[in-house]
Structure formats: structure tokens, C-alpha cells
Structure 1
Amino acid sequence: KTTLAMEIYKDQKIQGYFNNRVFFETVSQSANLETIKMKLWEQISSNIVLGAYNQIPEWQLKLGPRDRGPVLVILDDVWSLSQLEELVFKFPGCKTLVVSRLKFPTLVSRTYEMKLLGEEEALSVFCSAAFGQESVPQTADKKLVKQVAAECRGLPLALKVIGASLRDQPPMIWLSAKNRLSRGESISDSHETKLLERMAASVECLSGKVRECFLDLGCFPEDKKIPLDVLINIWMEIHDLDKPDAFAILMELSNKNLLTLVNDAQNKAGDLYSNYHDYSVTQHDVLRDLALHMSGRDSLNKRRRLVMPRREESLPRDWQRNKDLPFEAQIVSIHTG
């Protein structure tokens, strides 16, 4: 969904129709709605918001910007109707494209539901991740490959992650993966629930420290860049890793599509290892959900990571209920305010 929204955002015809007044913003579960709304309004109106409490004056919102031309606002990763109600601008000429796992019939006039990939498309995506080509190699067991790909149920991220996890693996590992995936059938019809259950099988195949490093990623806020030097230092300290070993784990997770490396200084020469201060890490929100899901299997006080998954006004109640017992967490992630 996000990929399609980004293509719309970058499309030259769409930019031309809206006179380059197309704005893209990721919302997420823990969004600071006032900050996002203010940022969007400043882009739309070309004015810096000034005044008491840095709030947008109501009269400005009602009148709209001075430039009466068309505006397109793309809101990605919207989690609730209340979020959407805060971020939709209703002045004439403003269109809003909402990207969400949910439907909002009371506020959105038209809904396009993204379909899962068909069998051939899914197999092509899977083979690209598993073999580096869009079809099953002659040397591979075609029936087994198709069976594993079918277990991904047409979910693109699952196809990429599970395919990458099986790259260069012997047939017995493939067969084991098929069996684990087939046992992960969900009683829920939620695509996201099925996705977590199937992808967990791939993460569980990782070696101990690689798996633990992946689970650490869930401690960071969603849809935010993680400075690479910060992440490497955390891994070195908590998992007793040397820097080369931490980088090897980083590259393994990247190669398995479990994180994305972003060069923040694209015009600067040099490799990743020598210039890692110029890089950051991002993670798909479903992969973060997976890390939280797997980290939460232990009882609260036994968890190695104590994480507030989204912004709240105070500490979670279950933390406070268990405060008289010792916590074994090595990482505590607090997101309040």
C-alpha cells in the first residue's frame, strides 16, 4: 500500500495536475498529530505557524490557503478514525489519500482495497528473494518452492522475508520451512495476523544473536530512522559483540529483508563500515510488530525487552501492577507525553 502511495506521490502527471502541491506524511500509531497537522499546514499555506501554543488559528483552517489551487495530501499508515479526523483539511480543492489497514466509510468517500498477489506474481516475488531471479531455477525442487511460496498467502512482505531466509539453503531446510509454515495457519482472517505467524518461522531460524538483534529493533519508535552508530553500540554492549560481528549481523538482517539501510549522505564517498555514522536503519511497521510479538511471548517480568509499543500518557498499567517483582529487562523503551 505504501509503495503504491509513494508512486502516486512521485508521479509527474499527478504533481503537474496539483501544481507540485502534493504532500506525503507518515502518521503511525504513536503520531504527534498536532505536529503533523502543523507541518502539513505550513507546507500547504507556505506560512510558518506563529502564535500562542504554536496552534493553527481556526480562521485560517476555515478560509484555507491564499493559493486556491488544488492540493493533494497523502496520509500513510493511519491507524484510527480519530487520527484521520484530526488530519483531514476540508477547505475547497483539498483532496486526501489515506493509506491504512482499516476502512473509514464515515469520512472517506471512495475505498480501493489492495488485493493480495496472484499465484504467478507471488511466485515471481518469492523467487526474486530466494534465488535472485523471477522464476524457479532448474536445479531447484519446483514443487517444493511453489508449496513454500503458497504458504505466504500472497503477502508481499512475507514472500520477501521468507524467500530471503531460504536463499542458498539445502532442500531439508526448505522442507522444514514448509512444514512450519503450514502449521502456522491462523484462526483469524486478518492478513496481518497471518503475516506475523508465517514470518515468525523465518526469524526463529536465525542464529541466537542474530535473532536477538532483530528483536531489539522493536524497541525503537515505528516509522523512525534509527542511527546506525546507536544501533551498533547497543548491540556491542548488550550482546558482547565486536564491531565487525555487529556489522555482520546488520548485513545478514538487511540481506534477509528484515531491515533497510538508508544512506543519509548519498553524495559522500566511502563504504558502509568506514562511514557508518552517515547511515541509518528503517524497518517496516509489520516487521516491528513481529519483533514486539515475539518479544512478548515471555511473562512481563521475564522479558529481555520492556517496550511501550506506542505513545501513552503514562506507563502501562501492567508494568505498574508488576512493579513489586524484579524485572529482567536489558532494554527499556518508554514513549510518553
Structure 2
Amino acid sequence: MALALVGGAALGAAFGELLKAVVDVKDKAITFKSNLDRLESRLNSLEPIVREIGKLDRELDISPEETKMFTDRLKEAAKLVRKCSQTKCLKFFKRPSYSKKLLEFEDLLVKFFQTDVQAMQTRDSRKTLAKVNEIDGKLDRIWSGVRKGRQVCDSNVLVGSCGALRVSDFIIGLDAPLQELKMKLLQDGVQVVVLSAAGGCGKTTLAKMLCYDVEIKGKFQDNIFFVTVSKSPNLKVIVQNMFQHKNFQVPEFLNDDDAINKLGNFLVNQTGTSPKLLVLDDVWSGSESLILKFMIPIPEYKILVTSRFVFPRFHSTCKLELLNDEYAMAVFRNSAFRQGESSNIPEDLVNKIVRGCRGFPLALTVVGGSLCGQPEVIWRRTLNQWSEEGKSIFDSSSDLLIHLQTSVDALGEKIKVMECFLDLGSFPEDQRISATALIDIGVELHDLDEISALANIHDLFTRNLVNLVLTRKDASEVDGGEHFVMQHDLLRELAIHQSSQEPVEQRKRLIMEIRGNDLPKWSIEQMQKPLQAQLLSITTDEAFSSNWCNIQLPEVKVLILNFWTKNYGLPEFMEKMDQLKVLIITNYGFSPAKLSNFPLLDSLSSLKRIRLENVSVSSLGKSALQFRNLQKISLIMCEIGEAFTNCTIDIPHMFPNLVEIDIDCCIDLVKLPKGLCGIASLKKLRITKCHDLEELPEELGRLTSLDILRLHACTNLLELPKSIGSLHELRVLDISDCLSMSQLPMGIGGLRGLEKLDMRGCEFHKLPPSVKDLLKLEEVICNKEASDLWEPFKTHVTNLKINVLDEEINLNWLPNLHF
């Protein structure tokens, strides 16, 4: 019973054993039946609390010593109960003694939960408050650093900057390689260890496991730096990561040598003689010089390199082998068969599929996911397709791609899901991709609605073709605003490979990856010929000088520009993209980039969606641009404080048909411009994680068409404007984690169409009487204290459901910072 529920925690196991003993014994020990019945009732009432304690102890890694004394008493009580079953063997004078001991234990049980546990809760609440204050201080430093043109990071806050994310709980076959890797890494006289294996073998997973190994953490403490290098490494960005990981201001670097010199001084001065570990993940062939630069002569400084390639210069190499048959079968079954369900797939067919994957963890996971829930005929078709190729998945990574291709082909008639998979190749490798960007593409390029576009992402996730990152535990909103996608680089290669099968002039997607100023040969050859591509993705590195070729792309509907520079000029050939509907511009560099040639957008009459990330749009208001058909604008980590000030054109006139505004992590936004409140067509306004936002204008009440208003984690926002009661069409209001907000406006009852209110994280002490007029309100999401405030109003708001969610300290919502 409880023993199975509490998952093996020391307290939970002892509690479960006692409850089991009581249930087994109570009908046998007639003499003590009343005592045991009462004890069973008491234990059953306490079981959910113990289960929650056990769960939290595991999640928070709390030592069992905390409750050891009480755990021991539980074990003693279980022995006592077992003795009670031996009624006939007990001497008559001992029976009252046993009865007394049972009563004493019941009193102890009550005392522990009424006194000790409450004391622990009080202490833990204060610890949580202290942790929140600590995080709040760190956030202040982060955002103030961004305002000063730098970004300050802490390993405990932003693991995405230079820290390894934890791996899945289900890891098979890596225990022995982990021990071998540790032995080589901790060996004296060895500075660089290379972990080499083919793509999809689990190198990155093993490196992350190493970072969380108890012995490694004990040695290197918080001086473990995990950096993904990939095909186009940027040494200065890697060094910036390392400074940020230690929460230090990042200096300006003249060049790579200057960056390494300053890194050496930093490591010596700030970490002293403490051991240091740098993990360079996914290093490609030709990057040996990068590794050499990081070999700074510092005592107790180690470097772990993971790569598909072997670097003979570094003699200490671990080769990660493929999984043996036993481990391969376990990995495959974990993906191919739902837990607890029986399968009618013949065992010999399962064995053949597993053998065909030849021990590649990625292939086993992806192929298994694609076959999960499929009938036997689909399994046999997959096996036949492999046989037709006449090659082994073990031969080369290209053959691995061929076998993975069958998993994509297994999407069958789900053409739109396949299209979504291919779209993922448009973004740089090893970067987190916002689901809203993919939704924008799906809506305008594949004629989907937003719900279907998001559902396609979930389909890819269930087939293990992408990893889905939810930034909140309950992130289930259909707008995808809290979803991000990451993809293994082999699967990204597969998407690009699949998109490149036709001749250049016939491809639906053109994906250009430019290193330096080396333009693809085809782009020069095709300058005089119109191309048929509907999606164009261009990725340039820091060395690109914006010397664009004049290619003709009259059919392009989606343009994705990825870059790493401080100044970026939009390509002039955009001016002739008459069909362009979606423009996604992302700067993966260190600070917001300045865009030039912005007036080119004025000629794009078909443009419906613009997404700008980590760029400065301060000059937008100084232009006379008119986005006549623009329906959605997304500004992510942008400098927008002066974007709409001193406008040469009226803002509603600039955006006459705008339906949606999404502003996220724009830290220089202090006050929402009044002009935006004049856009009569606006239905969705999302302002999230804008920590300097202090005020919303009273003109907000003019947005009478507004359907959704999200103000999540605007921590300095004090209140909602009084005019909000004029938003009669508003269905969803999200003010979650607006920590400075202490009350709702008196006129909140004017929101006659409100159906959902998310107010968790808000410390409200009372509600205005007018909330009784929110007759359409169906759901309120809040903390326990706020739920009590709503109870008296349920007699008026008859369909109201109060959803109490536990508070969580979760910083996954913070942006990836693109390193």
C-alpha cells in the first residue's frame, strides 16, 4: 500500500511497513483490535502527507537524517504490532503493557505531525523565502547587467548559460563508461580527455551524467563549465559563458587571444587553486586549435571534449561503445511500448528491429517512438525498408540517417507533422526553438490554425523526434507561449538532408549556413534565375560582413535570419519578396544587435507576422513605416524602451490590422506606450517577464476587442489600471507571479466575459466586492491563501472552479541567452 506509494524514501518505507503490519494483524489480534483499528484510521489519514514528504525529499534531495529518529520509532512500532498478532503466546500481564505502548505511539504520531512537521514547515517556508529573495537579487543583477550592455549569470540560476542540464531518469548502459571516463579525467598528468563516438551514441548524455556525479561534484564543486561548441565555434562567446557562470561582469575582448588571456587571469584570480573542469561538448573536426587555446597552464584544470571525431593529438581518449543486446532491448522497449500495456508484436520481429538499430541509443529511441502503438504491418514495413537499402545502420552516420528517415516516413499521412519536422532544420543546431516561432510558420506556410500547429509539435515529441521543454509545470496553453523545442543535431541533419533532395531551383526550403563570407556556390550561379523556395533560412556567423548576393526569391513566404553580430544589415533582396508573410530575426550574440535597412520592410505588403529576438528596435518610432497587413508582432529580449516614442506616424495607423502583440523579457520596458492602446483590432496582448514594467496606462481600457491579456512575471507591476473594467470581451487574464501586485481594481467586475483568471504568486489579502459580477468566470488559478478569499463568492459565480496550484521556484522561463 503506502510502501509502494512513497517511492522508497526512508520515512515513507517505514510508514508503509507499519501500515501494512496493522492491516495484516488487526483481524488476528482480537485483544488489540480497537487499538489497531484506531491506529489504522490515523495512519490512513496521514498517508497523503507522508507520501508528499517522501516526494519532496527526493525532489529536493533532503537527507533522511532529518526524520531518522521518527523513522526508527515507526520501525519499532511495526515490530510491536507484529508481536500483537502473537496474542496466545503473550502472557496475560503483558497485554495491558502492549496496549499502553500502542496508545503512547499513537500520541507520538499525532505530536510529530502537529508539532515537529509544522516546525519543519515553518523553517522550510523561511528557507524558501530566503531562496526566493536570493533568486530575486540574482535576477536584479541579471537584468541590471543587461541594461548596462552585459549579461550576468549564475550557475544556480541559469543552467542554460554554462551549466549541464540534468539527464533523464531512464539511462541504460552508461554506468561502466562513466567510471572509465572518471578514471581518465581524474588521472594525474592528463589535462584533456576526449570522449569519442558516432552521432547518436550518448556522448552528451554521458558528459552531463559526469557533471552531476557525486565524486566529480565533490572535487570540482561549482567550477564545472559545460559549453556546447557545435560546427561553428565562437571562442569569445564560450569565454563569455564562463565569466557569466561565475556571476562576473564580462569584459570586452579584442580578439580570441585576448579572451583566452583574460580567461586565464580570471580562473587564477577568482577560483584560485580550486579544481576546474571545462566540458567542450560536440566539438567538430577541424576544431583542434580551439581545444589547444583552452589548454591554459593552470594547476587542477581539466578539459573534457566530446566529439564524433578522434583527435590523435590528445592521447587520453575514451571511445563510447554501442549498447549491447540487453541494454539495446531495454532502451527500445522503453520507447516502443507504453508502460503497463501488453503487446501483440511477435518477439522475433521486435528482436529484428532492435538488431537493425545496432545499439545506437538515438536510433533505438526514435525508431521505437515511431512504432509505438502501431500495428504489426507497420513494423514489418519498417524492417522491409531497411532491407531494401541493403546497408547496415552501423556502417556510417549517413546510414543512421537512412534508418532514422523511416521513423519520419512513419508519420504516414500526417503531412503537416512532417512539414513541421522539416521546418526545424531552419534554426541553428543546439539552440532552443520557441514553439511560437514554429506556430507562426505553420499558420502562414502550411495553412494551419494555431492549435493544430502546436499539436504537430506534440506529435513530434511523442515520436522522440524532438525534446519538448515546458517552462511551467502546467504549461498547457494552446498559444504555445510556454513551450520550447530542442532537437538532436543528427535529426536536424536529417531534416536538412530531406529538404535538399531536389535541385536548388525546385526546393521548397532553402537553408543557407554561411561561414565568414563564403556564400554557397549555388547562390552565385542562380542569381539570374528565380527560385521556387517558400522558406528561406540564412545563418551567418560573427565574421560575416553583410555582403549579400542578389538572388531572386519571389515565392518566399517565410524568411528566417539567424546571426551572431552586433550590427546586422537586412538583405536587400528582401525588397522583392512580395509573398513574404513571416519574418523571424534572431540574434544569438551577446547583446542586442542594431538592425540596418529596416525600411525595407515597408515594401512587404503581405507581411503578417514579425518575430524579433535580441535586437534593438529603438528606431522603429522614428521611421514612417506602415505595416498594413501585419497581424502579429513578437519582441523577445529586445531593447524597446524608446521604440514607440516620438513617432513620426500614429501607432494605430502604423499597425491598422494588428491582432496580437507578444513582448517577452524586454527589460527596458518601464511603461507600456499609450499609442498601443489605440489599436482597435488588438485581441491578444502578452507582456511577460518584463521586470521593469511598473505601469499600464489608463488607456488600456480602449482595447475593447481584447480577448487575452497576459502579464506573467512582471514583478514590478503594482496594479492594473482602473479602466480594465471596460474590457468586456476579455476572456483570459493572467497576472501570475506579478509579485508586487497586492489587489485587484474595484471595477474588475466589469469584465463580463472573463472565463479564466490566473493569479498565482500574487499576495492578495482581499478581493473587491465586484468580483461577484464575474458571472462567466469558470476557473481561478491561485495559491491556497487566495483560494479562501474566493470561497464566499462561489454562491454568486456558480460555475467557478478554484484550481489551487503549489508555488514553485522555477527559472526555466528565463531565455536561453543564445550561447
Shift of residue 41 of structure 1? 5.0
Residue 98 (structure 1) aligned to one of 291, 305, 318: 305
Which runs of no fewer than 5 residues in structure 1 stay unpaired?
A: none
CA distance in 2, matches of 1:50, 1:152: 48
What's the CA shift string for 1:140-179, capped at 9, x where partnerless? 2111111112111111111111111111111111111101
Shift of residue 317 of structure 1? 2.0
What's the CA shift string for 1:192-237, capped at 9, x where partnerless? 2221010011112322221111011001000001111111111111
Amino acid at match of 1:102: F
1:131 lines up with 2:337 in the alignment? yes
- Going from structure 1 to structure 2, the CA distance change for 1:138 and 1:330 (only over 3 Å counts) comes to closer
1:297 lines up with 2:498 in the alignment? no
Shift of residue 92 of structure 1? 2.5
- Going from structure 1 to structure 2, the CA distance change for 1:168 and 1:93 (only over 3 Å counts) comes to same
CA distance in 1, matches of 2:379, 2:394: 26
Residue 521 (structure 2) aligned to one of 299, 317, 321: 317
Residue 268 (structure 2) aligned to one of 65, 71, 83: 65
CA distance in 1, matches of 2:514, 2:298: 31
CA distance in 2, matches of 1:237, 1:195: 33
Contact (CA 8 Å) 1:26, 1:75: kept in 2 or not?
yes
CA distance in 1, matches of 2:393, 2:373: 33
1:9 lines up with 2:211 in the alignment? yes
1:23 lines up with 2:230 in the alignment? no
CA distance in 2, matches of 1:305, 1:225: 21
Residue 428 (structure 2) aligned to one of 221, 228, 240: 221
Shift of residue 12 of structure 1? 2.9
Amino acid at match of 2:439: I
In the TM superposition, 1:1-337 aligns within 5 A as: 1-40=203-242, 43=245, 47-51=248-252, 53=254, 56=258, 59-60=261-262, 65-66=268-269, 67-80=272-285, 81-106=288-313, 108-133=314-339, 137=342, 139-186=344-391, 190-206=395-411, 207-264=414-471, 266=472, 270-274=474-478, 276-309=480-513, 311-336=515-540, 337=544
Shift of residue 34 of structure 1? 1.7
Shift of residue 86 of structure 1? 3.8
Range that drifts further, 91-100 or 312-321: 312-321
Aligned residues: 331
CA distance in 2, matches of 1:88, 1:184: 44
Shift of residue 138 of structure 1? 5.6
CA distance in 2, matches of 1:65, 1:97: 19
Larger Rg: 2
Compute the TM-score of the two structures, normalised by the length of structure 2: 0.38
CA distance in 2, matches of 1:150, 1:188: 10
Shift of residue 291 of structure 1? 0.5
SS at match of 1:315: coil
SS at match of 1:262: strand
SS at match of 2:460: helix
CA distance in 1, matches of 2:495, 2:406: 12
Which runs of no fewer than 5 residues in structure 2 stay unpaired?
A: 1-202, 545-819
Compute the TM-score of the two structures, normalised by the length of structure 1: 0.90
Contact (CA 8 Å) 1:30, 1:310: kept in 2 or not?
no
Range that drifts further, 313-322 or 24-33: 313-322
- Going from structure 1 to structure 2, the CA distance change for 1:59 and 1:291 (only over 3 Å counts) comes to closer
- Going from structure 1 to structure 2, the CA distance change for 1:124 and 1:185 (only over 3 Å counts) comes to farther
Shift of residue 54 of structure 1? 7.3
SS at match of 1:150: helix
What's the CA shift string for 1:107-155, capped at 9, x where partnerless? x231111111111211111111111259x95622111111112111111
CA distance in 2, matches of 1:124, 1:273: 34
Shift of residue 183 of structure 1? 2.5
- Going from structure 1 to structure 2, the CA distance change for 1:195 and 1:133 (only over 3 Å counts) comes to farther
CA distance in 2, matches of 1:27, 1:296: 25
Shift of residue 279 of structure 1? 1.7
CA distance in 2, matches of 1:332, 1:321: 17
CA distance in 2, matches of 1:228, 1:130: 26
CA distance in 1, matches of 2:483, 2:217: 29
CA distance in 2, matches of 1:51, 1:238: 41
Amino acid at match of 1:20: D
Shift of residue 325 of structure 1? 2.0
- Going from structure 1 to structure 2, the CA distance change for 1:325 and 1:97 (only over 3 Å counts) comes to same
Shift of residue 94 of structure 1? 1.0
SS at match of 2:268: coil
SS at match of 1:99: strand
- Going from structure 1 to structure 2, the CA distance change for 1:86 and 1:302 (only over 3 Å counts) comes to farther
Amino acid at match of 1:65: V
2:42 is aligned to none
Identity of aligned residues (%): 37
Contact (CA 8 Å) 2:454, 2:478: kept in 1 or not?
no
Shift of residue 187 of structure 1? 7.9
Shift of residue 78 of structure 1? 0.6
CA distance in 1, matches of 2:229, 2:303: 13
Contact (CA 8 Å) 1:228, 1:277: kept in 2 or not?
yes
Amino acid at match of 2:353: V
Shift of residue 274 of structure 1? 4.1
Range that drifts further, 31-40 or 281-290: 31-40
Amino acid at match of 2:310: K
Amino acid at match of 2:485: V
Contact (CA 8 Å) 1:117, 1:154: kept in 2 or not?
yes
2:739 is aligned to none
Q: Compute the RMSD of aligned alpha carbons.
A: 2.4
Amino acid at match of 2:335: A
2:185 is aligned to none
SS at match of 2:303: strand
SS at match of 2:218: helix
CA distance in 2, matches of 1:57, 1:169: 53
What's the CA shift string for 1:73-124, capped at 9, x where partnerless? 0111111323333444342221000111011121x23111111111121111
Range that drifts further, 245-254 or 28-37: 28-37
Shift of residue 3 of structure 1? 0.6
- Going from structure 1 to structure 2, the CA distance change for 1:144 and 1:204 (only over 3 Å counts) comes to same
CA distance in 1, matches of 2:439, 2:339: 32
CA distance in 2, matches of 1:279, 1:177: 31
- Going from structure 1 to structure 2, the CA distance change for 1:88 and 1:275 (only over 3 Å counts) comes to farther
Contact (CA 8 Å) 2:394, 2:400: kept in 1 or not?
no
Shift of residue 62 of structure 1? 5.7
Contact (CA 8 Å) 1:25, 1:75: kept in 2 or not?
yes
What's the CA shift string for 1:216-261, capped at 9, x where partnerless? 1001000001111111111111000011211221111010001111
